[in-house]
Amino acid sequence: MRIAGGAGAAYRPGMISFHRCCAVAILSAAAACSSGEHAATATAGAAMAGAAMADAPATDQPTAGTRLVLLGTGTPNPDPDRSGPAVAVVVNGEPYLVDAGPGVVRRAAAAAGRGVEALEVDRLRTVFITHLHSDHTLGLPDLIFTPWVLERTAPLEVYGPPGVRAMVEHLSEAYSEDVRIRLEGLEPANRSGYRVIAHEVEPGVVFQDANVRVTAFAVSHGSWEHAYGYRFETADRTIVVSGDTAPTEAIVEACRGCDVLVHEVYSASAFEGREAIWQRYHASFHTSSAELAKLAERARPGVLVLYHQLLWGSSPEELLAEIRRGWDGDVRFGRDLQVY
């Protein structure tokens, strides 16, 4: 069955319930499914009408194919319904994370509890960091230490731009007393799972295994010297994650008709009401809805999933309408724990 537009994987969603109005699986019972948010899914959804939209058996876990799980769609604003930026690309039961916003491990646990077994906490061991902004990395110590406390034995492998090694070294140092107490006290802790292996990478292919090839590409995030997006290519799908970026040609080149483009965005109309000093910042660091529509027109993703949305009082429906004014493709307002 197809989860979203593009070359969807054969996939049985286990305990995940499908909202019948659209092609997206919702892991959160509280997630909204208004016609306004998902109206554009009709075309993609038509292909999977009927059996594909029905709830799947609760015991049949997916082991093959590629899924994208939105773990956190938030921003620095501490919205309790939206964890910090983090997504998981799950391929043949193996999870590959992008970014570690605050709440990442708890959202992974929530996804695992709703049927995505690959996101069980002790299985989280690979993360690709887009850039070192705090909203994308505050969950990094969580990702390093919490799975270890829950008996992960593999070290965490962290890929990211220059500076990521110093960050994880400082985090390890900051928690060295915690590690000592767990290792030397009564706790039956293993001696490997708290370690971190940092890979500082340059644009290009940064990772490849039997499941996936991951390519980092440079994006344009204001005064950051190094900020990346990532392209995931698997046997059945291509997924591109923008990270934080102003509009950049690199997105068009990385996507080129990809199955799923996950892209950050702010509301172009609400931007008009921002103070000039903030407008200057956002125009340099982020992408407006109008700009994203123009990019999507050329990048032509099967489905465009919005995350890291800055609304400033606009509604999800208004944001989607702003995109649709410039692009008539399939666009969704991403929410935590959705699966594509």
Catalytic residues: 135
**Shortest reach from residue 112's CB to Zn ion, in Å:** 25
Question: What is the layout of strands, in order, in the sheet containing 338-339?
Answer: 17-18, 25-26, 338-339, 66-72, 86-91, 94-98, 126-128, 156-160, 196-200
* Residue 152 found at the interface with Zn ion (CB under 5 A): no
Residue placing its CB nearer to Zn ion in the complex, 244 or 259: 244
Residue placing its CB nearer to Zn ion in the complex, 35 or 284: 284
What torsion, rounded to 10 degrees, do the Cα atoms 4, 9, 14, 20 define?
20
- DSSP-derived letter for residue 9 is P
Residue placing its CB nearer to Zn ion in the complex, 133 or 226: 133
**Sign of the alpha-carbon torsion through 298, 230, 308, 33:** positive
Span from 65-73, 126-134, 146-154, 276-284 in contact with Zn ion (CB under 5 A): 126-134
* Residue 135 found at the interface with Zn ion (CB under 5 A): yes
Residue placing its CB nearer to Zn ion in the complex, 135 or 322: 135
* Residue 99 found at the interface with Zn ion (CB under 5 A): no
What is the residue whose two structure tokens read 């490997």? 192
**Shortest reach from residue 212's CB to Zn ion, in Å:** 24
The length of the chain is 340
Q: With contacts defined by CB under 5 A, how many residues of the chain interact with Zn ion? A: 3
Phi/psi at 72 (5° precision): -150, 130
Selected from 133, 182, 226, 335, the binder of Zn ion by CB under 5 A is: 133
**Shortest reach from residue 236's CB to Zn ion, in Å:** 29
What residues from 275 to 304 belong to the interface with Zn ion (CB under 5 A)? none
Binding mask 220-259 for Zn ion (x = CB under 5 A): ------------------------x---------------
In angstroms, the CA 35 to CA 53 distance is 16
**Residue in 121, 116, 118 with CA at minimum distance from that of residue 142:** 121
Q: Residues in the site for Zn ion, rule: CB under 5 A?
A: 133, 135, 244
